[in-house]
Amino acid sequence: MSRGNSSQVGRAASCVSPEGNGGWVLGVAVSMKKIGFIGAGHIGSTLARLAIDAGYEVLLSNRRGPASLSQLVAELGPAASAVTPSEAATADLVVVTVPLHAIDQLPEAELVGKTVIDTNNYYPDRDGRIPELDSGESTTSEMLQRRLPGSRIVKAFSNVVYLHLRQLPRPANDPQRSTLPMAGDDAEAKALVAGFADSVGFDVLDVGGLHEGWRFENGRPAYCLPYAADPEAMRGSEPGSRPMEAKPAARGVIAALIERG
Ligand SMILES: NC(=O)c1ccc[n+]([C@@H]2O[C@H](COP(=O)([O-])OP(=O)(O)OC[C@H]3O[C@@H](n4cnc5c(N)ncnc54)[C@H](OP(=O)(O)O)[C@@H]3O)[C@@H](O)[C@H]2O)c1
């Protein structure tokens, strides 16, 4: 794959309905009610909270089993329930938000036909060295797509630190609304994800197919720093001590960083 040559970055999803779930997005009816989460850690629990605020029910699952999620479910209230990964996969839209090294353990059969949001990133210290990612031959989301061939993978919510994700939602047309990049090979799945993102307070920028997902992977200019009020303090900081204050990043800012690749 050539990563030096910039391909055309799409501008889809600019006409996303402000109605949120239950509305119409890019001409596609959105009737999502339940969002399933495979992974309920930093990103999973944060996005689940935003989804509940937007009126969805959430099905949360993790590796250790539903009993280990009782405190989180109690905090999130009656719209949340703890289930197994296979049960989470029955939702209208499923978020896979586990460490990359765990994607071999996902419930492949139950995820057939599903649109799956992929938040995963590659951290060699955590995930081990993966030659096809080191060489640039593949992106993390292409790897997930190969693990889940019957699902429609959309890479999104992967380039923003959970602390910032929590602070950044804004209503549609708010000048302080942030844009998140998204990549996927299926236009209908991307429209569904764009509608979900819209309903929880974000615009999206369609970067292209899953092969273009490297443009907002770990270490790229569009990765995490654009949403930090103090990017210098973010650089090199340990996850537990990352600066919490977020800064909105508009479409033009994210598009320019994506083009830089
Ligand atoms: N943290 C961030 O700000 C951030 C931002 C963007 C993207 N990401 C990416 O998003 C993914 C999740 O990150 P995170 O920070 O939320 O991770 P995390 O806090 O470590 O949470 C990981 C979650 O995945 C679950 N899990 C692990 N193996 C599983 C399996 N085999 N089946 C089902 N669930 C499993 C864990 O369950 P147990 O607790 O039971 O082990 C836990 O709920 C990672 O790839 C990360 O790189 C993170």
Give me the domains of the chain, ranges plus CATH numbers: 24-260 (3.40.50.720)
pLDDT, one tens digit per residue, over 86-98 is 999 999 999 999 9
For residues 205 and 226, is the Cβ–Cβ distance under 8 A? no
* Centroid of chain to Cα 215: 14
The pLDDT of 134-139, averaged and rounded, is: 96
d(CA 5, CA 3): 6
Indicate the DSSP class of residue 85: H
By most ligand atoms within 8 Å of CB, the mutation choice from 49, 98, 103, 224 for ligand 1 is: 98
By most ligand atoms within 8 Å of CB, the mutation choice from 38, 61, 64, 97 for ligand 1 is: 97
Q: Whose Cα sits closest to atom 41 in ligand 1?
A: 63
For residues 213 and 45, is the Cβ–Cβ distance under 8 A? no
pLDDT, one tens digit per residue, over 30-60 is 577 999 999 999 999 999 999 999 999 999 9
Ligand 1: residues with CB < 6 A are 38-44, 62-64, 68, 85, 97-100, 102, 105, 119-121, 158, 161-162
For residues 18 and 194, is the Cβ–Cβ distance under 8 A? no
Residue type for position 203: D
The pLDDT-based confidence of 29 (bands split at 50, 70, 90) is: very low
Give the dihedral of Cα atoms 48, 54, 56, 59; nearest 10 deg.
0
For residues 11 and 205, is the Cβ–Cβ distance under 8 A? yes
Checking if the pLDDT of 10 tops 50, the result is no
**161 Cβ neighbours under 8 A, 6+ residues apart:** 224, 227, 228, 234, 242
pLDDT of residue 244: 85
Q: Whose Cα sits closest to atom 45 in ligand 1?
A: 120
Which is the closest atom of ligand 1 to the Cα of 157?
6
The pLDDT-based confidence of 85 (bands split at 50, 70, 90) is: very high
User: Distance, CA 47 to ligand 1 centroid (Å)?
Assistant: 12
For residues 156 and 197, is the Cβ–Cβ distance under 8 A? yes
d(CA 21, CA 183): 21
Checking if the pLDDT of 20 tops 80, the result is no
The pLDDT-based confidence of 3 (bands split at 50, 70, 90) is: low
**124 Cβ neighbours under 8 A, 6+ residues apart:** 130, 134
- Residue 126 CB-density burial (10 A; 0-12 exposed, 13-18 middle, 19+ buried): exposed
pLDDT of residue 32: 78
- 227: nearest Cα among 157, 159, 156, 155: 159
Checking if the pLDDT of 207 tops 80, the result is yes
| pTM: predicted TM-score of the whole model, two decimal places | 0.90
Which is the closest atom of ligand 1 to the Cα of 122?
47
Checking if the pLDDT of 138 tops 80, the result is yes
The pLDDT of 224-241, averaged and rounded, is: 84
Checking if the pLDDT of 236 tops 90, the result is no
Q: Whose Cα sits closest to atom 32 in ligand 1?
A: 63
